[in-house]
Structure 1
């Protein structure tokens, strides 16, 4: 999945959770925690495999169900020390949503779910040999654009479109976190 898809999926999950369970919308800080958590598995694994060559593929340490609890506990410990426990919850939900979204993406593409993407260090998917980080990005990006332009309406494209609309609607319903805060800050700066 692409970074914006992971962010959208995580934001929908977090927004629905906070609105239904806690009857409150995500704050700007919670939204930032969701953004960081939703991207971290790829920010760990893709450079380790595609740039540095420490791991074989783009699914290893960051996507591992064995590593995730330690990452979430470390974030929780830092958040508790700062008096921001709610941010650790936002981060953890987003971080854990990442590998789930990757597996759902496999299903939507008509493939079987490859559990090797989350079972590092026991097993990992086969290594890719598309070159460095930019080579991988270009290959996947042009393949994605080609699919969008030539495949018509697929389950994956329909899901992505609905997810995009749901995220926009939820974000507006939530009061446009981050953007609303930035707007208020700009207005306050002007009135000084």
Structure 2
């Protein structure tokens, strides 16, 4: 699967949006990737997951015991990566603002975890999810994602393997350019702010 194939999937599924968006990270951007739209087709989701898994070095794939993803965005791709790797896939939730396991999910002490996200911008959600896994006794040995929109600058504290890197600018609240500020703001992410 080439980078152009991946972008074509995002475009044809209307998953690449343009406007003025407040991202889950709190930053503003003229672009938003609504991965749920690209993943709504099970065959396409499976193809993207298998392509993502192929980006992870073989020795890391072999060491993974369980796949964990943060809800909401990472839930579908995490499940599909788990399927591609033939590993159980569970997810973290944050109904009160802090990630933790619910629904009877658990991580056994010392389990090696692959964290799976849909999009990484600053890495804040990923770092919070990695900390939650550590509190549960697991060890995140790597993270993968469909999209790295940080242009390689997000520091997750673990090796990071995105399927595709994109360089869409994002801005702090006080740095939003006037032309972007003139567009009505939309907040499509799952973080409560």
TM-score (norm 2): 0.27
TM-score (norm 1): 0.27
The structure carrying a bigger helix percent of its residues is 1
With a CA cutoff of 8 Å and minimum separation of 6, indicate the structure with the bigger relative contact order.
1
The structure carrying a bigger strand percent of its residues is 2
